[in-house]
């Protein structure tokens, strides 16, 4: 059983009502509930945290090491393009991380084209709306299974 941490950045608490033509109609609570059910079916524990505050996300990343989190799924939202603090926290804990986005940032405004964590994550899932999170969970599961197999064969 793996421990997974899902981090949702600023304004994602407004999913379902915020620009539904862009982000869809699925509220964050429904995304988190689906992830919880799927994680449990895969035999994993999962915790989801949403914050509009950069420091709270950094604190959650730093705490992940203490709580033996095996993988982080993060949608930094607007912090994707601005937060060196989130990048530094991810580098400090060295926990495998998957970057998640509902849309394709590179297909949007130019200021969204740069992710400050793209080069330090194990993968990026983007553009599939709320389903992006489920794809990220599946990718995390596969990554952790492969990692476990590699450790067993050593």
Inside any domain, residue 152 = no
Confidence of residue 119 (pLDDT cuts 50, 70, 90): very high
Least Cα distance to 50 among 71, 70, 30 occurs for 30
Classify residue 77 as left (phi > 0), alpha (psi -120 to 50) or beta: left
pLDDT at 100 over 80: yes
CA–CA dist 103, 48 (Å, integer): 20
The verdict on whether 101 is a catalytic residue reads yes
Selecting among 8, 23, 44, 141, the annotated active-site residue is: 23
Which residues lie closer than 8 Å to 140 by C-beta, 6 or more apart? 2, 4, 71, 73, 96, 98
CA distances from 37 to 3, 45, 110, 145 (A): 14, 10, 36, 19
Inside any domain, residue 123 = no
- pLDDT given at position 154: 61
Task: Give the CATH number for residue 23.
Answer: 3.40.50.9100
The verdict on whether 133 is a catalytic residue reads no
pLDDT at 113 over 70: yes
Confidence of residue 106 (pLDDT cuts 50, 70, 90): confident
Inside any domain, residue 138 = no
CA–CA dist 100, 79 (Å, integer): 12
Confidence of residue 1 (pLDDT cuts 50, 70, 90): confident
Q: What is the pTM of this model?
A: 0.93
**Encoded tokens for 8:** 């949702």
Inside any domain, residue 66 = yes
Q: Which residue has the tokens 């941490």?
A: 5
Inside any domain, residue 105 = yes
Count the neighbouring beta carbons within 10 Å of the beta carbon of residue 82.
Answer: 13
Inside any domain, residue 137 = no
Inside any domain, residue 75 = yes
Confidence of residue 9 (pLDDT cuts 50, 70, 90): very high
pLDDT tens digits, 12-67: 999 988 876 777 789 999 999 999 999 999 999 999 999 999 999 999 999 999 99
Selecting among 44, 101, 133, 141, the annotated active-site residue is: 101
Query: What domain count does the chain have?
Result: 1
pLDDT at 73 over 90: yes
């Amino acid at each position: 059983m793996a421990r997974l941490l899902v981090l949702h950045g600023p304004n994602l608490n407004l999913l379902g009502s915020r620009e539904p033509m862009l982000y869809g109609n699925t509220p964050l609570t429904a995304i988190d509930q689906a992830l919880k059910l799927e994680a449990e079916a895969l035999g994993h524990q999962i915790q989801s945290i949403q914050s509009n505050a950069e420091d709270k996300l950094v604190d959650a990343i730093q705490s992940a090491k203490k709580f033996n989190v095996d993988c982080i799924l993060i949608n930094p939202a607007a912090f994707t393009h601005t937060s060196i603090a989130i990048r530094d926290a991810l580098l400090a804990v060295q926990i495998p991380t998957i970057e998640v986005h509902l849309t394709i940032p590179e297909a949007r405004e130019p200021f969204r084209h740069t992710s400050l964590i793209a080069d330090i994550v194990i993968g990026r899932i983007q553009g599939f709306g709320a389903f992006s999170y489920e794809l990220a969970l599946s990718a995390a599961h596969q990554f952790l299974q492969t990692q476990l197999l590699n450790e067993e064969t050593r």
